[in-house]
Each structure stands twice: as C-alpha cells, then as structure tokens.
Amino acid sequence: MKIYDNHTHLNDKPFAGKEADYVARARDLEVVGMNCVGQDPEMNLGALRLARQFPNVKAIIGYCPDVAKDYDQAAEDLLVEQAQDDQVVAIGEIGLDYYWDESPRDVQRAVFARQLEVARDLHLPVNIHTRDAFEDCYRILKEANLEYGAVLHSYNGGPEWTEKFLGLDDVTLSFSGVVSFKNAKEVHESAKMVPLDRFMVETDAPYLTPVPHRGHQNEPGYVRYVAQAVADLKGISLAEAAQAAFENTMRVYGLNAEEF
C-alpha cells in the first residue's frame, strides 16, 4: 500500500532539524511521499531545500492570501525562476482567505488570478487555499484556464459546493484531518459523494491533526488516518482509498509512481 500526503508543511518551525525523523516515521506508516508546501519566500525556500534533500518530498511554491499584499513583479520573477526546479510540482498554496483577511480582498483576488496565469504559463497545476471564500474562489476558477489541474487543499465544503467544484474540469478535492472530526458532518457528506478519481488526502501538518491524535501536533505520517476516515465514509478499505488518492496525486502532479 502506498499513501501520499498531498499537502504538508515540513518546512515549518515545529519540524526544524527533525525533518529526516518525520520522513522516516511517515514511511513506517506506509506514507511513501509528500508535497512540502510554501506560502511565502521563506517557506518556498524551505520547501525547495527539503525537496532537494529527500527523494520522496516534492515542492509546491507560491504566495498564499496572507502575503498577497507583498506580491509584486519582483516576487513573481523569483517565483517563476524557482519554479524551474525539477522538484517543483505545482504553484501554491494560493487562493483566498476571508477569515484572517491579512491582505485586502481585492488584492487577494487579483494575486490569486495572476498566479493561476503564472501556473498555466509554467504548465503546472495549482494547490489552492480557500477559507470563507467559496463563492469568489469558484468564480475565479470558473473563469480561469485550468488545463493543468487545480487541487482544493483541506477541503471543507458541503455537498452543494462539492457538486459545483466537481462540475469544473480538472478540479480535485483534498481532504485533511477535518474529515475525521465527529462533528464535520458536511465534510463527511462531501467525502461520501466525491468520485474515486477526484480526491486526495493530506495532513496540512503541523495543523489539523486527525483522530486519533487530535490535540497533538500533526505530522505527515498521520495522513494514513485521513485516508482511513475517507475509506470508512465511503465504505471501502483503507487500501482502496489510499490507492485511489495515490493514483490521483500521481496524475495531477505528473509524478512517476515507481519513484515512491
């Protein structure tokens, strides 16, 4: 069985100096690979460094909504330059966050749309953060050219939004530890209805720790429990859920399954 963590922040401070330990611990739980995701210049560099260090770690780089206000031509030039690295598999996490509102919303929307264009020009998929902003996110994605794929990370929408997003070609939903939470009823319904070829699993570590480790720091290996939660909701085995998510991850990011 092969499990892949679509979205983790192994480049975050809680893992500093212990990254090799967490990669090994993940392997012990049959987690064979992971995407290390950047959010800003410092995190992007960290993702690149770890992807170069560990063969089973890939990098995703971009400017998240919190730092959209800092995105300018120099930032874009650096992003495009860094994205030439073979270890970069997507642009992200990019998108909209109307909960924290660290950047003005009009700036968030403009920078999100611009990074979608950058990703398309680079022939790369995108990894998307959206919080309290489904309507604008959906509109922007619908207007964009998503021929290289888009992944909604830590997806927490209910059935109505799930149906709408799945109506967009090349959109994949990625479930995090939230899907294992007892009271996340809408996410449960979404996990039940998503087709086997349209979902991934992730940790978003060090955040959103799944049951049975909720309340403790998350880590990439715990994506196994996310896959188990999805499997239970869909009435299939862990192996079936993990395999489906793994194949989807390989396809969307253009990865070779034999490398993991």
pLDDT of residue 145: 85
Integer Cα distance of 92 and 166 in angstroms: 20
- Per-residue pLDDT of the chain (260 residues), as tens digits, is 999 999 999 999 999 999 999 999 999 999 999 999 999 999 999 999 999 999 999 999 999 999 999 999 999 999 999 999 999 999 999 999 999 999 999 999 999 999 999 999 999 999 999 999 999 999 999 999 889 999 999 999 999 999 999 999 999 999 999 999 999 999 999 999 999 999 999 999 999 999 999 999 999 999 999 999 999 999 999 999 999 999 999 999 999 999 99
| Residue 60 contacts residue 88 (beta carbons within 8 Å) | yes
Q: 125: cis peptide before it, omega within 30°?
A: no
pLDDT of residue 127: 99
Tell me if 9 is assigned to a ligand binding site. Answer: yes
Beta bridge partners of 91: 61, 126
CA 97 to chain centre: 15
Tell me if 7 is assigned to a ligand binding site. Answer: yes
| Residue 58 contacts residue 87 (beta carbons within 8 Å) | yes
Give the CA angle between residues 210, 172, 125 to the nearest 5°.
110
Domains of the chain: 3-259 (3.20.20.140)
Tell me if 153 is assigned to a ligand binding site. Answer: yes
- pTM (two decimals): 0.97
